[in-house]
Amino acid sequence: MTVRRKPNQRLILLTGGTGLIGRYLLADLARSRIPVAVLVRSNRNQSAAERVETILRDLERRYKRSFVRPVVLDGDLTQPNLGLDREQQNWVAANCGRVLHSAASLSFKPAAEHPDGEPYRTNVEGTRRLLDFCRQAGVHEWHFVSTAYVCGIRTGVVCEDERSLDQSFANDYERSKVLAENLLSVATEVDSLTIYRPSIVVDTDLGSSMSDKTLYNTFANYQTASNQFGLPAPGEWMGYLGLSGEERKNVVKASWVARMIVQILRQPTLHGRTYHLTAKSGISARDIDRGFYEVLKESGVRSRPSGVEPLSEALLRLAKPFLDVFAHHFRADPLFDQTNIGHAIEVCGELPCQEATVDDIRDLSRDQVKAQKSARQVDHQSLAAMLPLHRVATWAPVEAARTIGVIASGAGGGEWVLTHSDSAVTSVHVGGAESCPLRFYAQADTWWKLLKNELSIEKSIVQGRLLIESDEVSGDNIPANSLLEDLRTLTTDAGRLASTGDPSEVIRAL
């Protein structure tokens, strides 16, 4: 297939980067050296940049390595033009050639009961707005994260390429994802559409309480009932829901889902298909119940005392809102065909998804209990700790002939294009550093020391803390000393901001 793309559209536009799958996508894209621009909405506690920085620091602790920071676009999927100003819109059009749409509302409540009409507002209208935006920006290659449950209420084998609206759905979430798939599949401006359909996604790697709402809310309801009426006997919960214990739920880890998405994204021959990102068979309801029971017992929840109202009657009143939404979703899953994903796994040299175990359910439940006991502290210092170039960089296109790429990995880092004359840096631009003929690589803390003149350029090179890459441009080789002088100019001029904290000083210096 032929995908329309301009030569300089090297970045991928990512939505949902702060979500369960999205945070792992950020890590895997960075490890694969795929440049990213991520659309993130600020919230009451943190700016968009701070939210991304907090997530990446968690990932760096998990993987014990540093990551190059993505370009952060402070926007909103549900707003016209994604809430971006004209300069940012032009920047995306000039730099992004494909989109990985991972953002979604996971609300299982009926849309009629949601004040904003979720999940349709995000999953359908948000996708429509993103489609309109990409049409204007000239982005024609799409990668869309959907769900395996677009199959609706089904038994037997579900093929990867099946899509319809004739089936019954357990909730509006499932239906909204089918509508979004259909919207993209008929869009003439989409040259290539690759759809990823994970099943129930959980996170057992980062110690996060985030997970698919199926298990998260099932455990929350189980916990609430146990705290109020005492811990039910093993299997009693299943009996109340009408389960035999042999029903199986298809559970996959977010880290595996993200890894497969990025691996497929890197292989153009695998594009244009639909993939079930699912386990082979799934975990039994009995094992899920066992994991819930053991965690609540170890956390000190007492067994139900004798002589109290039967649990089934009490739980019926307590859990009815939950059951109305989740009972159908917690039905036994069908078998998900894995023809396409099996081929992709072989091509990419990856391993199939490991089946979820009782240990995984315990880990998820413990994380949820831990999150309830100690609310996460928001890191309000993230933005202040970022490099000064974040504050002085412009979204305007690069027009100068002489450029240097600066890539700063780790906390507070990012990447920029510096334009320069013979003796000084003249402007700083967001992203695009990898396309520059001259590139400087270092950890963000090394850049801080250079900016503050606490570390010399020569010493940072000798110590292996600063790497310089140079391409030949128009047959001219630029001497290393000239590169060092350009960098020295940058550190001298921008160093004023490091010491004064005044962005206007650096702007005047530039």
pLDDT digits (tens, 9 = 90+) for 219-239: 887 787 788 778 888 887 777
Residue 485 has pLDDT above 50, yes or no: yes
CA atoms of 169 and 260, how far apart (whole Å): 27
Task: Calculate Rg over the CA atoms of the chain.
Answer: 25
State the average pLDDT over residues 229-258: 85
pLDDT category at 67 given cuts 50, 70, 90 is very high
More confidently predicted of 5 and 492: 5
11-225+254-282+334-356: in CATH 3.40.50.720: yes
pLDDT category at 475 given cuts 50, 70, 90 is very low
Q: Give the closest residue to 220 by CA, choosing from 67, 425, 367, 70.
A: 367
State the average pLDDT over residues 281-302: 91
| DSSP-assigned beta bridge partners for residue 404 | 418
Mean pLDDT of the chain, nearest integer: 84
Residue 325 has pLDDT above 80, yes or no: no
pLDDT score, position 315: 58
DSSP state of 198: E
pLDDT score, position 236: 77
State the average pLDDT over residues 104-133: 86
pTM: predicted TM-score of the whole model, two decimal places: 0.87
Domain ranges of the chain: 11-225+254-282+334-356, 389-509
Could you read off the pLDDT of 173-214 as tens digits, one per residue?
999 999 999 999 999 999 999 999 999 999 877 655 555 677
| C-beta separation of 396 from 429 below 8 A | yes
Q: Which CATH class is domain 389-509?
A: alpha beta
Q: Give the closest residue to 173 by CA, choosing from 124, 219, 127, 125.
A: 124
CA atoms of 303 and 236, how far apart (whole Å): 12
pLDDT score, position 129: 98
State the average pLDDT over residues 251-271: 97
Q: Are strands 251-253 and 200-202 parallel, antiparallel or unpaired?
A: parallel
Amino acid at 12: I
pLDDT score, position 378: 46
State the average pLDDT over residues 464-490: 65
| C-beta separation of 291 from 55 below 8 A | no
Residue 478 has pLDDT above 60, yes or no: no
pLDDT score, position 316: 61
| Range from 140-154, 239-253, 262-276 carrying the lowest mean pLDDT | 239-253
For the ranges 145-154, 299-308, 380-389, 434-443, the maximum mean pLDDT occurs at 145-154
Query: Quick one: what percent of the chain has pLDDT higher than 90?
Result: 48
State the average pLDDT over residues 131-146: 98
State the average pLDDT over residues 313-339: 70
pLDDT score, position 313: 65
